[in-house]
Structure 1
Amino acid sequence: MNTTILSARSLSKRYGDGIALNNVDLDIAAGESVAIMGASGSGKTTLLHTLAGITSPDAGSVNYAGTEVSALNETQRSKLRREAFGFVFQAGLLIPELTAIENVALALMLNGVPRRDAEAQSAGWLAHLGLAGMEARRIGELSGGQAQRVAIVRAQVTGARIVFADEPTGALDSHTSANVMSALLAATAGRGNTLVLVTHDPTVAARCSRTLYMHDGVISLAPAAHPDATPPPVAHPVSTQDGSTFMQNQNWAGQP
């Protein structure tokens, strides 16, 4: 059994009168891919941000590989995010003025890698994701799926052990979504690293090794009852074979 790499105990978070997290306990194993689903306002994004050290809980603790994340100050949390975590968001949060290779290389350069070496490493990983020849294109010159693959490379290239993804396929059509999800899984769980993602799409969640459901700030193993609810598709295991063609991972220089 894989070792627990990330855990939460008694996590609570309020925004005004609303309860975003209500005494949440969670364990995530190294190499696992975990999808978090739930209605808007259920607390799923707050949980993701709290696990990643972007948001501080009002009560409770988050532990990453023996480090109590919730006890770190902002400078320490920023360093942890930069060195150990990667991030992929629906909008990508790529820098539009920079090229694909510059966006990826920046993550390495923030960790002290010289520019020439950073760009050489970045070019290799972009090629692994089918983006050879597109290194010099600015983000606006790429399709949505291509831009998300750039974001995945950026999230992996520095060696991140956990990637946090918030609706990474939310703005994509179904075909592109499937391709991006294949790349994301291969680059994380397929290489023995960990993926935690928020999604509204049951077909995306079904590709993860485990799905959790948020309802009123509480985790359950089944979706909240809804008269129009459709059961999620049956999950299938993540192929480690896919991961053999993808990269060693990175991190986004996370900001609070």
Structure 2
Amino acid sequence: MNDPILLAHSLTKTYGTTRALAGVDVAVQRGESLAIMGASGSGKTTLLHVLAGIVAPDTGSVMFTPASGIRLDVATMSETQRSRLRRERFGFVFQQGLLIPELTAIENVALALMINGTRRAEATAQAAAWLHSLGLAGMEDRRIGELSGGQAQRVAIARAQVTGAELIFADEPTGALDSQTSTEVMDALLWSTTSQGRTLVVVTHDQQVAARCSRVLRMRDGVIVPTEVAA
């Protein structure tokens, strides 16, 4: 726990006249599940995007230390380097999944491997194994529109995990789901991440989702605020 997988310092990000991040420091411990909460416009999604290398901060650093121990500063990478990092080292689950509707469940998951150079047969086998482990056996050949919302999110979780990503980012992964399905999706997300020694960072507005994570950060006006202030 003394060696964070992500260590961000003095992050700032401005969009026009809006300061989305105003000097944020955060450490994400290896193997933890971290929930980031806050009202709309608080900066929580911007923080996730900066930590994940989706966007670069205006100032500050984001140090990623993979299991190999070779520390990387995500904030200073080029867009090409960040894209490769996201593709090979990070996994993502978004509210709507962002799955390709023309592809089947197994094709959506296998594609994440094939983009990185894995042969189709091997990628398909690994995709099938992940879908089976997440309770989707027999649904491999269904297109996304033929799945329920919860099933589609489990496909997205499988896609995020199939590459062996050490760090999973989830942005409102249960936001479009009812309470029962939300619980099932969080079960799948936590089982496939922290239960396997991986790390999860999740942005959520749902108190029940946050309560299931090992730690919660609350944001307001682009900064992290103490729990007693945020409450």
Same fold flag (TM > 0.5): yes
1:157 is matched with 162
Contact preservation (8 Å) 1:38, 1:223: no
> What does residue range 33-48 of structure 1 map to in structure 2 within 5 Å?
33-48=33-48
Contact preservation (8 Å) 1:24, 1:219: yes
2:68 is matched with none
Question: What are structure 1's unaligned runs of at least 5 residues?
Answer: 226-230, 232-256
Residue 19 of structure 1 and its aligned partner are, at CA, apart by 1.0
Which AA in structure 2 matches 1:177?
A: S
* Distance across 1 between alignment mates of 2:160 and 2:228: 29
Which AA in structure 2 matches 1:93?
A: L
Q: Write the deviation string for residues 167-205 of structure 1: whole angstroms up to 9, x where unpaired.
A: 000000000000000100111111111000100000000
1:85 is matched with 90
Secondary structure in structure 1 of the residue aligned to 2:224: strand
2:124 is matched with 119
* Distance across 1 between alignment mates of 2:229 and 2:36: 13
Contact preservation (8 Å) 1:211, 1:221: no
Which AA in structure 1 matches 2:225?
A: S
Instruction: Choose which of 86, 90, 98 in structure 1 pairs with 2:103.
Output: 98
Identity %: 69
* Distance across 2 between alignment mates of 1:2 and 1:97: 44
1:25 is matched with 25
RMSD: 1.0
* Distance across 2 between alignment mates of 1:53 and 1:137: 32
Which AA in structure 1 matches 2:199?
A: T
* Distance across 2 between alignment mates of 1:224 and 1:130: 41
Q: Write the deviation string for residues 146-174 of structure 1: whole angstroms up to 9, x where unpaired.
A: 00000000000001010000000000000
Which AA in structure 1 matches 2:110?
A: A
Q: Write the deviation string for residues 103-132 of structure 1: whole angstroms up to 9, x where unpaired.
A: 000001011110011101111110011100
Residue 223 of structure 1 and its aligned partner are, at CA, apart by 6.5
What TM-score, normalized to structure 1?
0.87
1:212 is matched with 217
2:192 is matched with 187
Contact preservation (8 Å) 1:213, 1:223: no
* Distance across 1 between alignment mates of 2:183 and 2:193: 15
Change (3 A) 1:167 1:223: farther
* Distance across 2 between alignment mates of 1:223 and 1:116: 53
1:9 is matched with 9
What TM-score, normalized to structure 2?
0.96
Which AA in structure 2 matches 1:149?
A: R
Residue 221 of structure 1 and its aligned partner are, at CA, apart by 3.3
Question: What are structure 2's unaligned runs of at least 5 residues?
Answer: 66-70
1:241 is matched with none
The structure in which a higher percent of residues are helix is: 2
1:242 is matched with none
Residue 224 of structure 1 and its aligned partner are, at CA, apart by 5.1
